[in-house]
A and B are shown apart, each in its own frame.
Chain A
Amino acid sequence: MSEARASKTSVTEDIALTASGATLTGLGDVFGLCRSIIRSVETVIDGKREAVELALMTVLAEGHLLIEDVPGVGKTMLAKALARSIDSSVNRIQFTPDLLPSDITGVSVFNQVTREFQFKPGPIFANIVIGDEINRASPKTQSALLESMEEGQVSVDGATYPLARPFTVVATQNPVEMEGTYPLPEAQRDRFMVRISMGYPDEVAELTMLRMRELTSPLDSLSPVVSLEQLTHMIALVRGTFVSESVEKYAVSIAQETRRDPDLRLGASPRATLHLVRAAKARAVLEGREFVLPDDIDALAVPVLGHRLIAAARVAGAGSTYQSTSITDIIQRIVAATPVPLGAGDRG
């Protein structure tokens, strides 16, 4: 309890530090802000440091996050906490089987005064869009997200409307084996940069959660830690993080191996390689480094590639297309078997 309080005090200090909106100058500032965001989210989601870091990395790398797990483990809470920690526009869409594409993108309505159609933006128009239980909507509605996630724009009635920048979709979904779910199409899965799984909290974390939420929701006391302007600056800095040719080659080697591996029916797409390197940049910044290491690639291989690969039938088992455990094993095996280049001039 005392730990939680101390954490809260620290968060308040961080907020005080950054509320002035001082211009960020370098890696040290960004590193500090990242730590602040993580601590802020951890006041709500305790004991899930890895999931929180991966979520933040996704935002910093301008990717989209897919949180997958059974109901009640804090998926939506993580999405909300992350959104609230950043002073940005946040919308939440609850995906249901009867949700229509226009419920997401917006709709053109006829204005009686001006006598012309006027576009009424949907909930997709926000910096952070929380798509709750995304796999409960029909594939048609899910597909409405495709264009917006990849291109950052929405086309309605022939007109194209750009989305806010930065733009991140944080979607949650129940495992596909659950009742009343529609598996996400491969194309859409490929558009999510990272997939994380929350997992059940340990005993201490669960006990702490019980006591904290007895009286009030911890989300209510959560204030933004960074401004939108600061987030934009952080994203730019992540984008400029140096990636050496050898690390790029290493990422490509892993991707190539997934395409050759006989246990996989579908290997990693070039977009997956791109996402892997981008996420690795964010991880490097999150660790206070100005360049990417092969270790970043190793650490992110499963979260970035796991939801995109399809195991061969003999590995996955009859009738199933989605066995994350075996996919994780396969990716870890591939990573463990791929030689790591030692840098410039290394011949392997």
Chain B
Amino acid sequence: MAEAAARVARVRTERAGLWGSGPWGARHRRTEFLRVVMVFATFAVTLGGLHTILDGVGWWVLCVTLCATVLGTGAAVRATFSRWRLWGRLLAPAVSLLAAAILVMLRFGAGTGLIGIIPNSETWVRFGKLLRDAGYSITWQTVPARADEPISFVLALGVIVLVVAAEIVAFSLHFPALVGLPLAVVFLIPGLTPEGRTDGWFFAASALTYLALLLVGRRWHATPVLAVGALAVVSGLVLPGALPSTDFTVTSSGLGPSVSTGVNPMLHLGSDLRDNIKRTALTYSTVSGKPEYLRLAEISDFSGQDWGPGQPVLDNQNRPVAFPRAPGVSSRVTTAREVTYVHVANLASPWLPLPYAPSAVTGLQGSWQFLPESFTVASNHDLARGQNYTVASEQITPTPEQLLSTGTRVPLGLQPYLSLPTKRPRVIAETAQSVTASEPTNYEKALALQEYLRSEPFHYSESAPEAQGYDGTGVAYVAAFLKQHEGYCIHFASAMAVMARELGIPSRIIVGFQPGTLQSEQDQGRRLFSVTTKDLHSWPELYFDGIGWVRFEPTPSRGEVPAYANQSVTGVPSMVAPDAGTASPSGRDPNAGAPSIDDGPTAAAWLSTATRGGWLVIGGGLLGLGALIFVPAVLRVVRRSRRLAAVSLGHGTVVSLWREIVDTAQDAGISIGPTLTPREARARLHRARGMSDAGRAALDRVGEALEREGYGPPRVDGANAQALNAIVADARVVISCLLASTPNDARLKAFLLPASLVASTQQAVRRWV
């Protein structure tokens, strides 16, 4: 008895957690070590998934170092306090946080603070600046962003919070499964970033490491683990693509659906145009009543793969209340004064839509500055959303003669607008040369390029570039477009701008809005124009000496060709597209065949195709969802058939028949717990509502067979096929009686969501988690 008492005491002691040197303690320590390693690995892999939004690897090394510091310190503290586990659990997160804070201090607060690790006022000022700069950096950088100092700082703080949270839930509270929550935060970041995408492989890998974390210290079965692993991999590859885009979100600001141009409007242009839903970006009216182009940003750097406006260097002196004279515009150039009243709807853009060339903007809220070269207006802090402002502008309307007189002169200082990547496909230069071979002046060359791009075989297509893999910016994409002859505004604008530079004409690409559609003839006495996401546009501007930057419109069926470039206007030199050998299909008047500012026939055709495709997708999706509803029912039927068939064929046992009966009873709302003996279960089933006398007799026969098979001596002669078939028949009778026992109001639920399937799933989840 003394021995038994001692055993009881020992078990109680172990349960109370006073483990130390015994084999149980050693096993526990090993399990905890493995758990620490797996939490670290899971974070390392999941953080790696941020590579889709952050450039380089330095940020990852920093994050992983912080993870190792937090988790390693926590483990060390718990090991030190192994005899006082509660203290260990309480102190570990605090000490981990302190260790991580010291690391952050050494990394970001170097040169400040007392003895290098205790922050002082100077440190806080620096940290505050880093936080503020991080806001700017995140706003202005394109994805993948460079992990500069401010972004690294914010990332480090975020990682510390998440890993300390993981440390608390996994080791202080002993819920390692909850580590999934901070991991989910990391996983969601790319999805919440405009243009960010989730890397399916990293998702799958982090899911697998998370699964491994859950399995640490538990017995596991290979099949379910492999199944979950496979599910994780498949969902990792499928889910990111299936997740909705976060670019457009309906906001509660009362300004309608949000339209985001992001930092780089170029990146959004294609997707915005392809989006079937029109969202109002802004409305405007002009004193003259004429529609006009509105510029957002300028792209002049044609190097690299992702052309964009880049982060503007804004000078507080350049407030847009008064602009200088537009660059290059001499006094002899004819200009027309215009006043435009703009109301921006929910346009999430750090760039302000403005006509060219603005001379003054009034009524702006917030801090806005203009860029003296591009005459675009931007803000580091504010968005165009909700702004109401008035723009006074001097619209440059040179005559063909004035443009012809500029010849081929290019003033000094415009070199940046002439530079091209040294390595570029030859087809661009060759095409430019062949198209303009007979044109003597820059103006005529520009007209020839515009005419060439507006003529056959070029077509406006928003889908072709994406489908054929050249939907991007860069000289390689321009070359591909010149060969394929299909694209949308970006391609036409890029092609003309690049070819112009090939010919020595300074050029740049402007991203903005085409004039939009007339919404109202009389709105406070003026014509009101509405601009939507479908009006996002890009066009080239070419520089002519003494005249400045002049807009061209090479995109067929979009926008409006300016008078100085419209060959139907008297005085404008006539051009013939060399490749086609004939005039433009739209005749000498490029605007004649195009419905000026609305979607052209090609776009309309595309839209109708896309709409049809959209309905197909929606229909398919609904069908898929409908099919999903029946998945549990199908699984249940398959399981029943398999069990019954297996016994008939001699593979199964009466035990599996019995399980089927118990599951059916559960589906019918009769609970047969695992603690009931078959006889007790039989007694309960006898009382089922739909059970007939034949059903009861059949149930007894199945029950007796189960007892013989499950608890009786093994049969020497083996199973009798005939007897087995009889038992299967009995089981079918019982099952049909039980199905009839289901209450009428619960039949649909029993069919669509069988309780037995739910219970077995829950049981399986409990076993693994």
Chain A residues with a Cβ under 8 A of chain B: 186-187, 242, 244, 246-247, 259-260, 265-267, 269, 290-295, 298, 336-346, 348
Residue B676 at the A interface, CB < 8 A? yes
User: In the bound complex, what is the Cα–Cα distance between A266 and B4 (angstroms)?
Assistant: 8
Contact between chains at B710 and A343 (CB < 8 Å) = yes
Given A244-B710, A244-B712, A259-B8, the answer on whether A345 and B655 have CB atoms closer than 8 Å is: yes
Contact between chains at A339 and B674 (CB < 8 Å) = yes
Residue B466 at the A interface, CB < 8 A? no
Contact between chains at A265 and B8 (CB < 8 Å) = yes
Which of B573-581, B596-604, B677-685 binds A? B677-685
CB distance from A137 to the nearest CB of B (A): 21
User: In the bound complex, what is the Cα–Cα distance between A242 and B716 (angstroms)?
Assistant: 14
Option from A260, A291, A295 in Cβ contact (under 8 Å) with B712 = A291
Contact between chains at A293 and B711 (CB < 8 Å) = yes
Contact between chains at A242 and B713 (CB < 8 Å) = yes
CB-CB under 8 A from B741, the residues of chain A are: none
CB-CB under 8 A from B675, the residues of chain A are: 336-340
Contact between chains at A247 and B677 (CB < 8 Å) = no
Q: In this complex, what residue of B is CB-closest to A346?
A: B655
User: In the bound complex, what is the Cα–Cα distance between A323 and B653 (angstroms)?
Assistant: 44
Given A187-B1, A291-B711, the answer on whether A343 and B655 have CB atoms closer than 8 Å is: yes
Residue B467 at the A interface, CB < 8 A? no
CB distance from A83 to the nearest CB of B (A): 32
Residue B658 at the A interface, CB < 8 A? yes
CB-CB under 8 A from B709, the residues of chain A are: 343-344
Residue B107 at the A interface, CB < 8 A? no
CB distance from A183 to the nearest CB of B (A): 14
Q: List residues of B (640-672) whose CB comes within 8 Å of A's CBs.
A: 653, 655, 658-659
CB-CB under 8 A from A267, the residues of chain B are: 4, 8
CB-CB under 8 A from A342, the residues of chain B are: 655, 658-659, 678, 706, 710
CB-CB under 8 A from A244, the residues of chain B are: 710-713
Most buried by B among A292, A293, A338: A293
User: In the bound complex, what is the Cα–Cα distance between A344 and B710 (angstroms)?
Assistant: 6
User: In the bound complex, what is the Cα–Cα distance between A267 and B653 (angstroms)?
Assistant: 36
User: In the bound complex, what is the Cα–Cα distance between A269 and B711 (angstroms)?
Assistant: 24
CB-CB under 8 A from B306, the residues of chain A are: none
Residue B5 at the A interface, CB < 8 A? yes
CB distance from B708 to the nearest CB of A (A): 8
Q: In this complex, what residue of B is CB-closest to A340?
A: B677
Contact between chains at A345 and B711 (CB < 8 Å) = no
Contact between chains at A292 and B655 (CB < 8 Å) = no
Q: In this complex, what residue of A is CB-closest to B652?
A: A345
CB distance from B700 to the nearest CB of A (A): 14
Contact between chains at A293 and B655 (CB < 8 Å) = no
Contact between chains at A294 and B677 (CB < 8 Å) = yes
CB distance from A21 to the nearest CB of B (A): 30
User: In the bound complex, what is the Cα–Cα distance between A346 and B658 (angstroms)?
Assistant: 11
Contact between chains at B4 and A246 (CB < 8 Å) = no
Given A342-B655, A342-B659, A345-B653, the answer on whether A298 and B710 have CB atoms closer than 8 Å is: no
Q: Can you give 26 A-B contacts (C-beta < 8 A)?
A: A186-B1, A187-B1, A244-B712, A244-B713, A246-B710, A247-B711, A260-B11, A266-B1, A266-B4, A266-B5, A269-B4, A291-B708, A291-B713, A293-B707, A293-B711, A294-B677, A294-B678, A295-B680, A340-B677, A342-B678, A342-B706, A343-B653, A343-B706, A343-B709, A344-B653, A344-B709
- Tell me the number of A-to-B contacts counted with CB atoms below 8 Å: 73
CB-CB under 8 A from B658, the residues of chain A are: 342
**Cβ proximity bits B1-37 to A, threshold 8 Å, 1 near / 0 not:** 1001100100100000000000000000000000000
Q: In this complex, what residue of A is CB-closest to B714?
A: A344
CB-CB under 8 A from A269, the residues of chain B are: 4
Q: List residues of B (688-711) whose CB comes within 8 Å of A's CBs.
A: 706-711
CB-CB under 8 A from B706, the residues of chain A are: 342-343
Q: In this complex, what residue of B is CB-closest to A264?
A: B8
User: In the bound complex, what is the Cα–Cα distance between A61 and B677 (angstroms)?
Assistant: 23
Option from A265, A290, A294 in Cβ contact (under 8 Å) with B713 = A290
Most buried by A among B4, B675, B680, B711: B711
CB distance from B474 to the nearest CB of A (A): 60
CB-CB under 8 A from B707, the residues of chain A are: 291, 293
CB-CB under 8 A from A292, the residues of chain B are: 711
- 6 smallest A-B Cβ distances: which pairs? A343-B710, A339-B674, A242-B713, A291-B712, A294-B677, A244-B711
CB distance from B472 to the nearest CB of A (A): 56
User: In the bound complex, what is the Cα–Cα distance between A339 and B675 (angstroms)?
Assistant: 4
User: In the bound complex, what is the Cα–Cα distance between A294 and B710 (angstroms)?
Assistant: 10
CB-CB under 8 A from B674, the residues of chain A are: 339-340, 348
- A-B contacts besides A266-B4, A344-B653, 7 pairs, CB < 8 Å: A186-B1, A266-B1, A291-B707, A291-B711, A293-B711, A294-B678, A340-B674
User: In the bound complex, what is the Cα–Cα distance between A8 and B629 (angstroms)?
Assistant: 69
User: In the bound complex, what is the Cα–Cα distance between A298 and B5 (angstroms)?
Assistant: 26
User: In the bound complex, what is the Cα–Cα distance between A289 and B653 (angstroms)?
Assistant: 21
CB-CB under 8 A from B712, the residues of chain A are: 242, 244, 290-291
Q: In this complex, what residue of B is CB-closest to A341?
A: B710
User: In the bound complex, what is the Cα–Cα distance between A345 and B653 (angstroms)?
Assistant: 9
CB distance from B309 to the nearest CB of A (A): 64
CB-CB under 8 A from A246, the residues of chain B are: 710-711
CB-CB under 8 A from A295, the residues of chain B are: 677, 679-680
CB-CB under 8 A from B677, the residues of chain A are: 293-295, 298, 340
CB distance from B670 to the nearest CB of A (A): 17
User: In the bound complex, what is the Cα–Cα distance between A266 and B8 (angstroms)?
Assistant: 8
Option from B5, B710, B713 in Cβ contact (under 8 Å) with A346 = B710
CB distance from A45 to the nearest CB of B (A): 28
CB-CB under 8 A from A247, the residues of chain B are: 711
Q: In this complex, what residue of B is CB-closest to A337?
A: B675
CB-CB under 8 A from A339, the residues of chain B are: 674-675
User: In the bound complex, what is the Cα–Cα distance between A292 and B707 (angstroms)?
Assistant: 9
CB-CB under 8 A from A346, the residues of chain B are: 655, 710
Q: In this complex, what residue of B is CB-closest to A339?
A: B674
CB-CB under 8 A from A345, the residues of chain B are: 653, 655
User: In the bound complex, what is the Cα–Cα distance between A343 and B657 (angstroms)?
Assistant: 13
CB-CB under 8 A from A266, the residues of chain B are: 1, 4-5, 8
CB distance from A293 to the nearest CB of B (A): 6
Contact between chains at A340 and B676 (CB < 8 Å) = yes
CB-CB under 8 A from B708, the residues of chain A are: 291
User: In the bound complex, what is the Cα–Cα distance between A345 and B711 (angstroms)?
Assistant: 11
CB distance from B766 to the nearest CB of A (A): 13
User: In the bound complex, what is the Cα–Cα distance between A340 and B672 (angstroms)?
Assistant: 12
CB-CB under 8 A from B653, the residues of chain A are: 343-345
CB-CB under 8 A from B680, the residues of chain A are: 295
CB distance from A252 to the nearest CB of B (A): 15
User: In the bound complex, what is the Cα–Cα distance between A336 and B680 (angstroms)?
Assistant: 11
Option from B5, B8, B655, B711 in Cβ contact (under 8 Å) with A294 = B711
Q: In this complex, what residue of B is CB-closest to A245?
A: B711
User: In the bound complex, what is the Cα–Cα distance between A1 and B545 (angstroms)?
Assistant: 135
Contact between chains at A343 and B1 (CB < 8 Å) = no
User: In the bound complex, what is the Cα–Cα distance between A290 and B1 (angstroms)?
Assistant: 36
User: In the bound complex, what is the Cα–Cα distance between A290 and B711 (angstroms)?
Assistant: 10
CB-CB under 8 A from B1, the residues of chain A are: 186-187, 266
CB-CB under 8 A from A340, the residues of chain B are: 674-678
CB-CB under 8 A from A260, the residues of chain B are: 11
User: In the bound complex, what is the Cα–Cα distance between A109 and B676 (angstroms)?
Assistant: 59
Q: In this complex, what residue of B is CB-closest to A242?
A: B713
Q: In this complex, what residue of B is CB-closest to A344?
A: B710
CB distance from A299 to the nearest CB of B (A): 10
CB-CB under 8 A from A343, the residues of chain B are: 653, 655, 706, 709-711
CB distance from A23 to the nearest CB of B (A): 23
User: In the bound complex, what is the Cα–Cα distance between A265 and B708 (angstroms)?
Assistant: 38
Q: In this complex, what residue of A is CB-closest to B656?
A: A345
User: In the bound complex, what is the Cα–Cα distance between A246 and B680 (angstroms)?
Assistant: 17
Q: In this complex, what residue of B is CB-closest to A266?
A: B4
CB distance from A253 to the nearest CB of B (A): 11
Q: In this complex, what residue of A is CB-closest to B4?
A: A266
CB-CB under 8 A from A187, the residues of chain B are: 1
User: In the bound complex, what is the Cα–Cα distance between A337 and B8 (angstroms)?
Assistant: 21
